[in-house]
Structure 1
């Protein structure tokens, strides 16, 4: 085959590829032409603005922000301003050791300011991000204390009290050897006393309405669930009173006997004794009574 013929054959075989390449070049050139008038319409300025560095915000050193927060908290007594400073450390330097410290200090500042919801938020975030930190126990305690400090009086719904108990029990469960566990246990008893007080208030209300069955159910809750609270003595007396009112003398005698056995110097026992005696009876414990079984179960009676 001659060189001329080979050249012609190659030209013919590549002609379709050359055409495709030419079309691609024309398309690219068209894009360039289209882009030129657009740049004149402000696209270049927008691009420059987008790419330009924003010099209006400058990070402050983490230690400077942290110390300013401490100053606001300790010297100025401006707890909200202190919290904002601590939060700024976390925002500007989120992965630093200063951020970890500031998050806890933010929770503490909110707690001191009485902003319990914000305290719970910051402390919860701390426990989530730093569960192995030596300060995690304190953060968990701040959550519990925030709930505890919002416990309402016994005339209102006790949902917050139940939340406080759950949070305090979490401190004891997770950090049993920490210094906060002891304080948490004390607060748990106080919160349980509050719940018992609520039950007693409702029970007394039913007694006034002479709905003795409903009253007994409330006093029974105190005796079975809140035996270690100060309300259990009155609850036993009220059970004596309610059972006497509906003619169930055996349970009334048992309630009086258990009250006298466990709290012999209680004024409530004197009232229960006199009430039983007024019906020609004596305090006498029925070992099969739920009252007797309850106290034996907890090591009393």
Structure 2
């Protein structure tokens, strides 16, 4: 049987008695039959010897990898899948082992190794039916590392690009449908980062810097859930700067698109306190958005 990998070389510890049971006429198959026999029984018994992993079939090593995966030993499972690829390269089972290696490493949260295995699969087997899943795993290796909005968003940009690859290369797959949902969440994540920085500046009365951040959300992330608050914060910032045309226009856009939200109610109240109301005013960047989005005037 295939046992724990030895520390040196590519040998594995095996149980002689179990090997005899597997090769005998008692049946039971790879995982053994009744009486607790089979490939994995007595794994840590006393009667052990070292045997090169090359002496086992690809199917046996693959089965051991699956067993470790079922037991929750994802890192060890990935190593056994890697051995299938190494010992039996360019075979169908090696191809299966490679995609399973990527999956096992991802389950173990070893995203770099998962990404490397998935990329090798895409490079070696671009036309295979599992290439879509490998590309999806590549995207997940970035997406599942996205942290809270207070951290650097470099991984979010990488996740967006990788998710876009899944959507564009495999549009009619279940992976594309999942990638679309994750793309929207990652996109919202970037907008949330801009909002966090904008609120930071606003709280410290750096109004010009704050409006720049909120403007990015309105112009580049207008389909995200952050847009209503961004428009409200623009009302706050522009009123503080004395730019009433911009504040009123932000209120008009907010009212047209998000009238039922608390952000609009609060924004309307802010304007009303100064004797103003939501309306398109002046010839500023918000007025241009108002004309395009609400009036349909693109020229």
Pick the TM interval, shorter chain. 0.7 to 0.9
In structure 2, C-alpha distance between the alignment counterparts of 1:255 and 1:95, rounded to whole Å: 61
Match of 1:210 among 205, 211, 215: 205
Match of 2:68 among 52, 72, 75: 72
Deviation, 1:81, is 1.4
Which residue pairs with 1:26 in the alignment? none
Deviation, 1:289, is 3.7
- 1:232 to 1:280, Cα distance in 2 relative to 1, 3 A: same
In structure 1, C-alpha distance between the alignment counterparts of 2:116 and 2:124, rounded to whole Å: 12
Deviation, 1:133, is 0.4
Match of 1:96 among 91, 97, 107: 91
Match of 1:272 among 267, 276, 282: 267
Which residue pairs with 1:194 in the alignment? 189
Deviation, 1:67, is 1.4
Contact 2:249–2:290 under 8 Å retained in 1? no
Which entry has the higher C-alpha Rg, 1 or 2? Answer: 1
Output the TM-score relative to the length of structure 1.
0.78
Match of 2:219 among 217, 224, 232: 224
Query: Which 10-residue stretch deviates more, 127-136 or 63-72?
Result: 63-72
Encode CA deviations 1:244-274: one digit per residue, 9 max, x unaligned: 1111111100000110111111101011111
In structure 1, C-alpha distance between the alignment counterparts of 2:165 and 2:289, rounded to whole Å: 27
How many pairs does the alignment contain?
Answer: 246
The runs of at least 4 aligned residues of structure 1 exceeding 3 Å deviation read 55-59, 286-289, 292-301
- 1:144 to 1:299, Cα distance in 2 relative to 1, 3 A: farther
Deviation, 1:286, is 3.5
- 1:277 to 1:58, Cα distance in 2 relative to 1, 3 A: closer
Contact 2:82–2:97 under 8 Å retained in 1? yes
Deviation, 1:137, is 0.5
Taking only aligned residues, the RMSD between alpha carbons, in angstroms, comes to 1.9
Uncovered stretches (5+) of structure 2, i.e. residues with no partner = 1-50
Contact 1:144–1:167 under 8 Å retained in 2? yes
Contact 1:253–1:281 under 8 Å retained in 2? yes
Contact 1:258–1:292 under 8 Å retained in 2? no
Deviation, 1:138, is 0.3
Contact 1:106–1:119 under 8 Å retained in 2? yes
Which residue pairs with 2:126 in the alignment? 131
Deviation, 1:120, is 0.5
After superposition, residues 231-242 of structure 1 pair within 5 angstroms as 231-242=226-237
Contact 1:254–1:286 under 8 Å retained in 2? yes
Which residue pairs with 1:260 in the alignment? 255
Which residue pairs with 1:63 in the alignment? 59
Output the TM-score relative to the length of structure 2.
0.78
In structure 2, C-alpha distance between the alignment counterparts of 1:288 and 1:295, rounded to whole Å: 10
Which residue pairs with 1:86 in the alignment? 81
Encode CA deviations 1:25-63: one digit per residue, 9 max, x unaligned: xxxxxxxxxxxxxxxxxxxxxxxxxxxxxx967442111
In structure 1, C-alpha distance between the alignment counterparts of 2:160 and 2:255, rounded to whole Å: 31
Uncovered stretches (5+) of structure 1, i.e. residues with no partner = 1-54
- 1:241 to 1:108, Cα distance in 2 relative to 1, 3 A: same
